[in-house]
Amino acid sequence: MTVIALDIGGTELKGAVVAQDGTVVRTERRPTRPTRPARPAQPARPTGPARGAGAVIDTVLGFATELADLARHAGTPPRAAGVVAPGLVDETAGTVVRAVNLDWHDVPIRHRLAEHLGLPVAFGHDVRAGGLAEARLGAGRGSDSFVFVPVGTGIAAALVTGGRAVTGARGIAGELGHLVVRPGGERCACGGRGCLETVASAAAIARRHARLTGSTTLDAEDVHRRAVAGEAAAGQVWAEAVEALADGLAATVALLDPERIVIGGGLARAGEDLLAPLAAALAERLAFRAPPRLVAAELGRRAGCLGAALLAQDLAASGLASWSVSAGGMPSSGGVPSSGGVPSSVGVPSSGGVP
């Protein structure tokens, strides 16, 4: 029961071929928007979101074909595909409602892939899929209720409880980055002010440090290193990010009562320089109760792609006799569980695996 998995990112596509026994046998990466050699000037052509969206869709479809061909050449044709995407998604309809970094609006990506590949396709949100992967394969194992919080260019969350990722009434649960933690603060890309992302995301850390120092070439990892080395401006920015993140997590804990919080994304690479002060700040804000365990994610950048593979395995095991492309890439008898479903044994090689 070989499956293929795709994780669609704003800058990079990650893909994998996963064998019947759950072993990740091949991984690939492609830029979401491949660079092309410069060409002679031509008459003006349409530009803007519509053209950008179409180019990205074409790239995704082509990448999916490559993965399916790799599986077939290995003698194990894929039985299903799993794809996850960022932004606001409708998992039931298989549609990306809005993904700003992809220029996508109401893109029926599940149906497009199913039609293109001739395979059943499972679809999910990238962060919820990452939470599913951490639940079955990573730092969430053994926990009945935890929150997966990847902190990178943006901030999001996935609540995994009872083996399932909570989607919410409109399928947009987990937008932790847009929780207002500094009322009247910096303008956020969402249109609000003082959102958590404007203070604690990797992009915000780099931006706020640049504002203080005038140095515009550093990223959040550089700021972290400078903070550890004792630079005052970097230390201030880092501390403010930790405090804001603690505010957001305190609200999450008060509302959801998770057993564990799993911190992922690029910022998690700071290790105890992030986790130790964050745990202390969170404990200060939760005087009425003991704080949940705060741990680093185990799967890193592989989480979304592994989650897509798990969704595909669940779909392949759910009974494909009733599947048809006309059904939108889904079995006519029902949808793909956002988590839970058939237990999977997708292997995570100690060296390699999904990038």
- Cβ 113 vs Cβ 67: under 8 Å: no
Under the banding of pLDDT at 50, 70 and 90, the label for residue 60 is very high
Nearest to residue 195, comparing CAs of 251, 148, 128, 276?
251
For the chain, give the mean pLDDT: 86
List CB contacts of 280: < 8 A, sequence separation 6 or more.
Answer: none
Judge whether residue 49 has pLDDT over 60: no
pLDDT tens readout for residues 65-77: 999 999 999 889 9
The answer to whether 3-128+301-327 and 139-297 have equal CATH topology is yes
Average pLDDT over residues 269-283: 97
> What pLDDT is stored for residue 44 in this prediction?
39
Average pLDDT over residues 205-212: 96
pLDDT tens readout for residues 324-338: 454 455 554 334 444
Judge whether residue 354 has pLDDT over 60: no
What are the C-alpha distances in Å from 169 to residues 90, 172, 173, 174, 328?
11, 8, 8, 12, 22
Q: Of 65-74, 106-115, 243-252, 312-321, which gets the smallest average pLDDT?
A: 312-321
Nearest to residue 304, comparing CAs of 112, 74, 28, 82?
82
Tokens of 113: 């892939």
Judge whether residue 175 has pLDDT over 50: yes
Q: Is 118 left (phi over 0), alpha (psi -120 to 50) or beta?
A: left
Percent of the chain at pLDDT exceeding 90: 70
Judge whether residue 290 has pLDDT over 90: yes
What residue ranges do the domains of the chain occupy?
3-128+301-327, 139-297
Judge whether residue 342 has pLDDT over 60: no
> What pLDDT is stored for residue 1 in this prediction?
83
Average pLDDT over residues 77-102: 92
Task: Give the Cα separation of 233 and 56 in Å (integer).
Answer: 39
Q: Of 15-24, 39-48, 98-107, 187-196, which gets the smallest average pLDDT?
A: 39-48
- Cβ 297 vs Cβ 104: under 8 Å: no
Q: Which CATH class is domain 139-297?
A: alpha beta
3-state secondary structure of 335: coil
Q: Taking the CA of residue 124 as centre, how many other CA atoms within 13 Å lie in the half-sphere pointing to its CB?
A: 37
* 3-128+301-327, CATH topology level: Nucleotidyltransferase; domain 5 (3.30.420)
Nearest to residue 109, comparing CAs of 132, 84, 131, 126?
84
pLDDT tens readout for residues 232-263: 999 999 999 999 999 999 999 999 999 999 99
> What pLDDT is stored for residue 83 in this prediction?
98
